[in-house]
Structure 1
Amino acid sequence: MKRTSMFLRGFRRRTGRPAVELAVLFRSIVDQSRTVHPVAADFLNHFMDGAGETRTLSQRWLRSFRAIRRAERKNHRRFERQLAREAHRLDDGASTWLNDHWDARINAFIGTELFYVSRMSLLRSQGSFVLTRTGREVTVSGTVRHHWVDPYDWDRGRWVYIPRHGFVPIAVGRDLVEADEARNYLMESRHVQTLEGTCRDGRWPRRGRATFVWALVRKNP
């Protein structure tokens, strides 16, 4: 009956339960999740510590998830189409710069550890490129700086399913913040990629071809 009551309260803005009881629930989630989802447990623990300091995620850990790589590729394709159009307009012997950014919304897959850290987030990709035409071919090179960001706030949705704990109302997090037992904070991660490519004009009626190669800039250990 107690679990059913808590589930129903997940559809309300508040749980109506004492903050001490809710804190015990979240602390137990932290303790029991460390062996299964250690990163998610660490970030929930940071929420409970109440410091509110920004946390930076490892780019290797973050990019290990398909949802993140899909968002990255989505922005890649946007840049590639944009560069191909710009190359087509470029006169022989001319060069030009292209600076722009694209945002990709991310929805983590249910059951992955990313889901328990960040269900919905944003990847902003800021690109800077130079294009140079020589005859029918345009060479492209540039850098894209990716910035992943998401507020850790327990303020979206109704409830979340947590292994060993069942359905936990999102309102638990809101109540803890209001009781000053926890504090929201910002999560972020940054990584850089380079782009090298060529855009070659086609002879009518054939269309032109574009080839792009992306490479991750590795951080020094």
Structure 2
Amino acid sequence: MFLRGFRRRTGKPVPELVTLFRSTIDGGRQVHPIAADFLEHFMDGAGASRRMSPRWLRSFRVIKKAERRNQRRFERQLAREAKLLRDGTSTWFHDRWDARINAFIGTELFYVSRMSLLRSEGSFVLNRAGAEVRVSGTVRHHWFDPYDWDRGRWVYIPRHGFVPIAVGRELVEADEARNFLMESRHVQTLRGTSLDRPWPRRGRTAFAWSSVRTKHR
């Protein structure tokens, strides 16, 4: 849990702050191994970006909800485009959506990335034959968040209590740690149909999403 703090600096010597974070890494490996690994990279990684496993990231409900939010946005757009398409014609559609993510307190994702962004970029082809429009396309999801520390706040870390976030900022200023970019990418395909029906019956639209297996690097 993050709380507003009154001190913008810890007032403690840098070696003591280094010891605090090193002990946090050692003590957190059994409880939150991914969070401990990323904190260690913050201390040792010289600022190199880190690619996160899509499988681990998508195991959190808040990530899947953000993904579904962007999927629904594409689906609504494609349904509108399908209605405008004339018989025997086709069209290409491209767009991008961003979904902001706030991790739930107490989850391991919270200790890795409290606030992040999922950017979904999609390209689709629509073909109409009579009353039916067939849709196919690909969406590339890019999750990212800078791993950095803000001043003037505190975070509760199991076994360590409330730790001022200013610790991380002071370690960066002392060149004992480096901020870095966390990111993850995965690809999905979409297939669907939009069927026009004469009034008073309503049209019907159906979409199916599938994940593309890619090697995590």
Paired residue type of 1:104: A
* Aligned equivalents of 2:82, 2:176: Cα separation in 1: 55
CA deviation after TM superposition for structure 1 residue 9, in Å:
9.3
Q: Is the 8 A contact 1:10 1:171 kept in 2?
A: no
In structure 1, runs of 5+ residues without a counterpart are: 1-6
2:86 is matched with 91
Matched, 1:66 2:37: no
Residues 9 and 220 from structure 1, CA distance in 2 versus in 1: closer, same or farther, beyond 3 angstroms? closer
1:181 paired residue among 176, 184, 198 = 176
Q: Is the 8 A contact 1:136 1:201 kept in 2?
A: yes
Provide the identity percentage.
Answer: 77
2:107 is matched with 112
In structure 2, runs of 5+ residues without a counterpart are: none
1:55 paired residue among 42, 50, 61 = 50
1:79 is matched with 74
Paired residue type of 1:17: K
Residues 23-69 of structure 1: per-residue CA shift (max 9 Å, x gap): 11110000000011110000000001151000000011111110110
Deviates more, 1:201-210 or 1:186-195: 201-210
CA deviation after TM superposition for structure 1 residue 15, in Å:
1.2
**TM-score using structure 2 length:** 0.95
Within a 5 Å distance, the mapping from 1:18-167 to structure 2 comes to 18-155=13-150, 158-167=153-162
Count of equivalent residues: 215
Residues 135 and 44 from structure 1, CA distance in 2 versus in 1: closer, same or farther, beyond 3 angstroms? same
What SS does the aligned partner of 2:81 have? helix
2:203 paired residue among 199, 208, 211 = 208
* Aligned equivalents of 1:104, 1:212: Cα separation in 2: 20
Residues 27 and 167 from structure 1, CA distance in 2 versus in 1: closer, same or farther, beyond 3 angstroms? same
Q: Is the 8 A contact 2:9 2:152 kept in 1?
A: no
Paired residue type of 1:86: E
* Aligned equivalents of 1:167, 1:48: Cα separation in 2: 20
**TM-score using structure 1 length:** 0.93
Q: Is the 8 A contact 1:54 1:185 kept in 2?
A: yes
Deviates more, 1:93-102 or 1:157-166: 157-166
1:3 is matched with none
Q: Is the 8 A contact 2:122 2:137 kept in 1?
A: yes
* Aligned equivalents of 2:136, 2:160: Cα separation in 1: 50
1:16 is matched with 11
Paired residue type of 1:60: R
Residues 10 and 23 from structure 1, CA distance in 2 versus in 1: closer, same or farther, beyond 3 angstroms? farther
What SS does the aligned partner of 1:64 have? coil
